Amino acid sequence: MAVRLDYVLKETGSNLVRNLTLTLASLLTVAIALAFVAVSFLIGTGINQSFLGLRSDVQMFVYMNPGATAEQIDSVSKNLQSNPQVESVKFLDKEKTYAEFKRLFADQPDFVESINPEELPQSFRVKPTSTDADVVSAVGTEFENMTGVYRVEYAEEYARQVQKSLSTLNSWVRLFGVALIFVSVLLIFNTIRTAVFARRREIEVMRLVGASNWFIRLPFMTEGMVQGLLGALAAAGLTWGFDALWKRNFVNQVSFELLNQIKWTGGDLWKAIIMILVVGAVTGAVGSGIAVGRYLRV
Amino acid sequence: MKFVEHTGQETVIKLENVSKIYKGEHMALRDATVEIEKGEFVFLVGPSGSGKSTFLRLLNREETAEKGKIYVAGKDIAALPGYKVPYLRRNIGSVFQDFKLLPNKTVAENVAFALEAIGRPKSVIREAVPQILELVGLGRKEGSMPNELSGGEQQRVSIARAFVNRPLILLADEPTGNLDPATSVGIMKLLDRINRTGTTVVMATHDRGIVDTMRRRVIELDRGSVVRDQARGVYE
Ligand SMILES: Nc1ncnc2c1ncn2[C@@H]1O[C@H](COP(=O)(O)OP(=O)(O)OP(=O)(O)O)[C@@H](O)[C@H]1O
Ligand SMILES: [Mg+2]
């Protein structure tokens, strides 16, 4: 039996309008929940991309003993330059080290005063070829044991710490996102169940006059799909606004040391929006089908 | 497959030793054997809880029997797969004490809804709805909402909805239960008219006056058992 399209459209339209307040209220909740889903997806993506950024400038510092001889410095320098795992080496002599030191502690002039430039260690700034933390620390250990070397420090350590806190944040964001998808599905489903309950008489009459189950289901499913889509569209608007706000306030702003690392592309934004549109439409349609099913059992 | 009676009439409803047991214990219908021919008008009587509504609900497979066989238009309805049950129901109109009209649709829309729900084309609906409303005497009320109608008028709408698809059988469960005697007479005249078109009518009722005046076949139930089956019978 053919299901008439105009019948389905008419039923869908009139029911959406009839339950306008309910429709609006549920649209709003669904929109907010779905917007949170999209936002947590974006932040999660941004955090993942920030890992890539951090990995690309892993550095290592080899500090010499303050009393290291010129031969010792020369030997370390040669070894570094010939090491295949090292991409580039930069030597900071006493003057440069002192300049750097002054820059670092510019806010504590007394401390700077108290330091004799002669006591400052000279150092090598090393950029390894590999970004793999294990390779880098293997190289570091190798030089740590050379005579005249005070100690080796890794920028990686800092990067690692940032990575660690970011990845904790990321798992929370992901968890939050998954929970929100769940909540959105429940919200959509619950709204539909209320709408279906309000129309159980209609379903009863349809069954009585011999409407087939699909014929009864279809208008409910399109209605649920339209509601889910509308909620998702509103959520897309919210997400888009969040995207703009985030870009303006955080991205590449030096004052937000961690947050400014979290960026995503326009493509990611589209992905997030398409994802919530699909979640909205599918849960709307499938949820309605299930909610109606309760009343169809012969 | 058709069941042909010795009278030469067609059997449209046939129950063979049918029992209905609700929730595993309560026997609402007990070993009932009944045959109803095409075009008959049958009253189901009996005290409250004797199984009249159960009898009717078994016929359109809103309920299924635990024991025995039920044939409608020659078909064993227990054997129908679920997706075919709607097609059985298209041959059976149903009318109830509480009308079951949709409050947010007009009279005409309520009737049209029954045809839309089974996928009838618009052109058919446009023609059939005014025609049936004329038949039930509501030609001028097509735009009214159900809450603007009297009980008798609402029941006419529900009869129009049940009959608009010209079913083989009309089941009526206490259709006059909510109506005063004068209004009930009007409804009975309408059902009688429908019956004369060849539609088999099975009606459960407590209305002694109606049964005694119409003198049609009476099947009496008592605690689920058929205790009397009388042509041109009376209430008791
Ligand atoms: N859905 C059900 N579940 C369990 N028991 C039921 C159900 N429907 C009916 N019954 C029981 O089956 C028996 C027959 O009920 P039924 O409704 O058929 O009686 P009835 O003759 O129509 O009564 P009334 O004249 O009051 O309408 C009653 O005892 C009733 O309690
Ligand atoms: Mg009853």
Tens digits of residue pLDDT in A240-274: 999 999 888 877 666 666 666 678 888 999 999 99
Cβ separation of B119 and A207 shorter than 8 Å?
no
Residue type at A161? Answer: Q
- With a 6 Å cutoff on the Cβ, whether B199 touches ligand 1 is no
In a domain, B127, yes or no: yes
Distance linking the first and last C-alpha atoms of chain B: 36
Q: CB of A273 within 8 A of CB of A236?
A: yes
Domain locations along chain A: 5-52+161-293, 60-154
Tokens of A207: 């069954």
Specify the number of domains making up chain B.
Answer: 1
Q: CB of A121 within 8 A of CB of A150?
A: yes
Q: CB of A292 within 8 A of CB of A214?
A: no
- Report CA-CA distances (Å) from A35 to A31, A39, B199: 6, 6, 58
User: Smallest Cα–Cα separation from A104: which of A115, A91, A119?
Assistant: A115
Tens digits of residue pLDDT in B87-106: 999 999 999 999 999 999 99
Whether the predicted pLDDT of A298 surpasses 60: no
Q: Which residue has the higher pLDDT, B77 or A48?
A: B77
Tens digits of residue pLDDT in A58-77: 577 788 887 788 888 888 88
A202 touches chain B (CB under 8 A): yes
- With a 6 Å cutoff on the Cβ, whether B25 touches ligand 1 is no
Residue B107, Cβ density class (10 Å: 0-12 exposed, 13-18 middle, ≥19 buried): buried
Rounded to whole angstroms, the Cα distance separating B202 from B204 reads: 7
Whether the predicted pLDDT of A134 surpasses 80: no
In a domain, B106, yes or no: yes
Q: CB of A245 within 8 A of CB of A239?
A: no
Cα(A90) to ligand 2 centroid in Å equals: 97
* pTM metric for this prediction: 0.71
**Phi–psi pair at B220, nearest 5 degrees:** -105, 135
**Beta-carbon contacts below 8 Å between A and B:** 66
Q: How far is A186 from chain B (nearest CA, A)?
A: 29
Whether the predicted pLDDT of A53 surpasses 60: no
Radius of gyration of chain B (CA): 18
Q: What percent of chain A has pLDDT over 90?
A: 13
Cβ separation of B119 and A1 shorter than 8 Å?
yes
Cα(B59) to ligand 2 centroid in Å equals: 14
At residue A167, the pLDDT reads 76
ipTM over 0.85: yes
Cα(B86) to ligand 1 centroid in Å equals: 24
Residue B143, domain extent: 102-166
- With a 6 Å cutoff on the Cβ, whether B186 touches ligand 1 is no
Tokens of A297: 């059992």
CA B139 remoteness from chain centre? 23
In CATH, which of 1.10.10.10, 1.10.520.20, 3.40.50.300, 3.30.70.3040 is domain A60-154? Answer: 3.30.70.3040
Chain B residue whose CA is closest to A212: B86
Tens digits of residue pLDDT in B39-58: 999 999 999 999 999 999 99
Q: CB of A177 within 8 A of CB of A44?
A: yes
- With a 6 Å cutoff on the Cβ, whether B24 touches ligand 1 is no
Rounded to whole angstroms, the Cα distance separating A235 from A38 reads: 8
Tens digits of residue pLDDT in A191-225: 778 878 878 888 999 999 999 988 888 888 898 89
